[in-house]
Amino acid sequence: MNLKQELYLVREWYRAHREFGIKPDWREFKRVRAAYAEKHRHYHTWQHIYECCLFTRKHYGLQPLVVMALFYHDIVYDVTRKDNEELSAQQWIDYATSRGLHRVAYIKMNLIADGIRMTATHKITGIKSLFYDMLNDADMHVFLCPDSHYLEYAQNIWREYRGFGREKYLEGRLAFLNSVDPLTMYYTHQATRMVHHAKANLDLEKTILETDPDRILTAS
């Protein structure tokens, strides 16, 4: 990540805190950044947060609540666990509580926490909210990218899961790809109008994994 991108995230952190009327905690910013630099991460990194925030700004304008949720949504990431999103939401709540937000912005604090939990399944249930729609579509934006960037994503996902072994990964990844419906995975019109890219990328990865998996699985 270059300096311009780093400064962009610094500004987004500042703007998100301004929404709550509090000063940003820069020690917390450094802690969050360090979490996304863990050695086992290849896709769920600080670069992913930058790209999600950039997608949000480009398509939805200033959305500080979405941005704050994005900062924390993958702060806990362990491919062997099933509770990453719950633990990530709890880290957000702990930080928000330490800043007094549980007293002055309780609803916003919990909206963000619920949004982080939503990214576990990307299924939006209950009360419809544009916040959830934007958060989901920003987090899933990689499927809308040009195929060259998408294949880089596919390789990085393999790097994160390669500890499970080639055959188990192939089985699990193909099952996931076959379960995804590009026509229902997005909620905002800004994303749904590009859904043909998602369909093409999903089909491309499935074809590669079925016919020439080394294009992806030999990534070091």
43 and 87 together in one domain: yes
Mean pLDDT, residues 62-82 taken together: 97
33 and 53 together in one domain: yes
The pLDDT-based confidence of 220 (bands split at 50, 70, 90) is low
Q: Which residues are CB-neighbours of 86 under 8 A, at least 6 positions away?
A: 117, 120
Contact 100, 22 (CB under 8 A): yes
Q: Can you tell me the distance from the alpha carbon of 36 to that of 42, in angstroms, rounded to the nearest whole number?
A: 9
Of 103, 123, 139, which closes a domain? 139
- Residue-range definition of the domain harbouring residue 180: 142-217
Of 139, 163, 190, which closes a domain? 139
Mean pLDDT, residues 110-128 taken together: 90
Phi, psi of 119 (to 5 degrees): -70, -5
Of 81, 116, 139, which closes a domain? 139
Q: Can you tell me the distance from the alpha carbon of 73 to that of 118, in angstroms, rounded to the nearest whole number?
A: 9
Contact 79, 163 (CB under 8 A): yes
Count of CB atoms within 10 A of residue 99's CB? 18
Integer-rounded Cα radius of gyration of the chain: 17
The pLDDT-based confidence of 189 (bands split at 50, 70, 90) is very high
85 and 183 together in one domain: no
165 and 131 together in one domain: no
Count of CB atoms within 10 A of residue 167's CB? 8
123 and 17 together in one domain: yes
Mean pLDDT, residues 190-219 taken together: 96
Structural domains of the chain, count:
2
Q: What pLDDT is recorded for position 219?
A: 63
208 and 108 together in one domain: no
Count of CA atoms in the C-beta half-sphere (13 A) of 185:
23
64 and 78 together in one domain: yes
